[in-house]
Amino acid sequence: MSNSLCLSGSIAKRILELADSLGLSPEDYINALLERAIPKRRVDLMPLGFKVKVAETVVEAALETFRRPLVVWSGGKDSTVVLHLVRSVAGRLGKGFDVVFIDHYMHFEETLEFVKKVAEEWG
């Protein structure tokens, strides 16, 4: 059994170009890519359920630690996920929290409508 690999064509050319641009040998470049792809070191490669559990643990700790926890919410997708997560954990723990939305007069009208709708539905 051989421990070698031979690449040719456009993928080989691309690896050679990228490795050279970083001052690495092709072998070192591929090793660096593989090293960064180890799931233990890359949060983005972890299963979604695990990421949610980690986030819930952080939120729980914040709700238990701080007297008046606060979520700054922009009405965008990312902060809406955070708001949903905090709301869910706070509800489970029977804890309260405040939400701050800053209207800097540069939001799209649809964002403002969404913020108003969520505020009405979620309190």
In the chain, where are the structural domains located?
Answer: 10-43, 46-122
pLDDT at 88 (0 to 100)? 98
Query: In the predicted model, what is the mean pLDDT of residues 52-66?
Result: 94
Q: Name the band, by pLDDT with cuts 50, 70 and 90, for residue 26.
A: confident
CA atoms within 13 A on the CB side of 100: 7
- Predicted TM-score (pTM) above 0.85: no
Q: Name the band, by pLDDT with cuts 50, 70 and 90, for residue 49.
A: confident
Query: In the predicted model, what is the mean pLDDT of residues 50-65?
Result: 93
Predicted confidence (pLDDT) at residue 115 exceeds the cutoff of 60:
yes
CA distance 15 to 6: 12
pLDDT at 50 (0 to 100)? 85
Q: Nearest CA to 65 among 29, 89, 36?
A: 89
The token pair at 42 is 């890359």
